[in-house]
Amino acid sequence: MESKAIVRYVRITPRKVRLVSDLVRGKYVNDALSILRFSSRKRTAKTLSTLIESAVANAEQSGKIDVDNLYIKTLLVDPGPTMKRFESRAKGQGMRILKKTSHISVVLEEK
């Protein structure tokens, strides 16, 4: 039995999210949440922990899954749409700034 949660349009670049998501992929949920709690220097850790807690709540809602035996089966980080902005530069030029977003999905499964 699987449980799933998705968050979209997170204003963090996918590369930065993947750095933290590689730490918890394949781990039990309790271990993953404690790892994320102590990696508080990364802004992504809070987003990933709330996403995992949401997937656990979805598993509890179904009632057929033992929450203590859940592990992170897949944790995917995909790029979302990029917001394009312009900032003025010297000699009347304008430089393009790309503000990247991420789509993050997690699937939990019972071992």
Nearest to 58 by CA among 83, 32, 87, 50: 50
* Count of domains observed in the chain: 1
User: Range of 55's domain?
Assistant: 2-110
For residue 34, the domain's CATH number is 3.90.470.10
> Does residue 91 have a pLDDT over 90?
yes
Position 65 confidence tier, pLDDT thresholds 50, 70, 90: confident
Which two three-digit tokens encode residue 96? 């393009």
Helices 44-62 and 29-38: crossing angle in degrees, nearest 10, is 160
Position 62 confidence tier, pLDDT thresholds 50, 70, 90: confident
More confident of the two residues 67 and 92: 92
pLDDT in tens, 27-49: 999 999 999 999 989 999 999 99
Position 56 confidence tier, pLDDT thresholds 50, 70, 90: very high
pLDDT of residue 34: 95
| Rounded Cα distance, 8 and 80, in Å | 8
